[in-house]
C-alpha cells in the first residue's frame, strides 16, 4: 500500500476546503421565511366539552364530578356519593329558552336504610332549590326535577345534591357514604 506524497495530500485538502467554501457561500443568499399560523386552537388546547348526560361508568365523567362522588366500583358501573355531592352538566340545546328536566339514577343500599331509616334527597342550582324526594326503602330510584330556563343560560351548570342523612366514615371505610349513583343528566323539555 502506497501513501500519497505530500503534494497530493495538499491538493486533496485544498480541494476539500474550496468545496466547503463554495457551498457555504452559495447558502448565504437572502431567503424568505414563511410563518404558518393556525387560526384555530389545536385539539389538545381546546377545553373538553361538558356532557349533558353522564353515565358514572364512563371514566370521562370524572372531570364533571365536582365534589362528593367517589371512584368507580361494582366492576366500573357505579359510584358511591357522600351526603353532599355536586355535578357539572352542560345545558342541552334550547334549555335556556324552554328549561330542562334534571334526572339522577341512584340506588339506596339496604345498609343505609337499616342504619338511618328513611332518607331524603334534595337538588339545587345555586340558591334555587329544585325539589326534595323521600326515599323510604332500599332500592333503585330515579330522581327528576324541573329546571327553570333562567338557570340554564351559561355553558355549564353545577347541580348540588344533598341527603338529609348519610353514613359516617368508619375505621374500615374512611368515606362518608350516601347513595350509589349510576347516571345524571339534563334533558330539554
- pLDDT tens for 103-128 read 999 999 999 999 999 999 999 999 99
In the prediction, which pLDDT does 9 show? 54
**Which pLDDT value is given to residue 139?**
98
Question: Does residue 81 lie within any of the structural domains?
Answer: yes
Residue 124 covered by a domain: yes
Whether residue 69 is predicted with pLDDT greater than 80 in this model: the reply is yes
Tell me the three-class secondary structure of the chain, residue by residue.
CCCCCHHHHHHHHHHHHHHHHHHHHHCCCCCCCCCCCCCCCCCCCCCCCCCCEEECCCHHHHHHEEEEEEEEECCCCEEEEEEEEEEEECCCCCHHHHCEEEEEEEEECHHHHHHHCCEEEEEEECCEEEEEEEECCCEEEEEEEEECHHHCCCCCEEEEEEECCCECCCCCCCCCECCEEEEEEEEEC
Is residue 76 assigned to a domain?
yes
pLDDT tens digits, 11-44: 555 555 555 544 455 445 554 544 444 444 444 5
Q: Is residue 85 part of a domain?
A: yes
- Residue-wise pLDDT for 133-161, tens only, equals 999 999 999 999 999 999 999 999 999 99
Report the number of distinct structural domains present in the chain.
Answer: 1
Rounded to two decimals, what is the model's pTM? 0.74
- Which domain covers residue 169, as residue numbers? 53-188
CATH of the domain at 124: 2.60.120
Kindly state whether residue 57 falls inside one of the protein's structural domains.
yes
- Could you report the per-residue pLDDT of 78-100, keeping only the tens digit for each? 999 999 999 999 999 999 999 99
Amino acid at each position: 500500500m502506497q501513501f500519497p506524497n505530500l503534494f497530493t495530500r495538499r491538493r486533496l485538502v485544498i480541494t476539500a476546503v474550496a468545496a466547503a467554501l463554495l457551498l457555504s457561500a452559495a447558502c448565504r443568499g437572502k431567503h424568505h421565511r414563511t410563518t404558518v399560523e393556525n387560526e384555530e386552537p389545536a385539539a389538545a388546547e381546546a377545553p373538553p366539552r361538558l356532557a349533558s348526560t353522564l353515565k358514572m361508568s364512563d371514566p370521562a365523567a370524572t372531570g364533571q364530578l365536582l365534589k362528593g362522588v367517589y371512584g368507580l366500583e361494582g366492576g366500573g358501573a357505579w359510584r358511591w356519593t357522600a351526603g353532599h355531592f355536586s355535578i357539572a352538566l352542560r345545558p342541552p340545546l334550547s334549555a335556556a329558552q324552554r328549561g330542562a328536566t334534571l334526572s339522577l339514577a341512584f340506588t339506596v343500599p339496604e345498609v343505609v336504610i337499616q342504619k338511618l331509616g328513611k332518607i331524603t334527597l334534595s337538588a339545587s342550582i345555586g340558591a334555587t332549590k329544585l325539589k326534595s324526594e323521600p326515599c323510604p326503602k332500599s332500592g333503585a330510584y330515579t330522581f327528576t326535577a324541573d329546571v327553570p330556563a333562567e338557570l340554564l343560560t351559561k355553558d355549564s351548570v353545577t347541580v348540588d345534591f344533598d341527603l338529609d342523612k348519610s353514613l359516617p366514615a368508619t375505621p374500615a371505610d374512611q368515606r362518608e357514604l350516601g347513595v350509589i349513583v349510576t347516571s345524571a343528566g339534563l334533558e330539554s323539555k
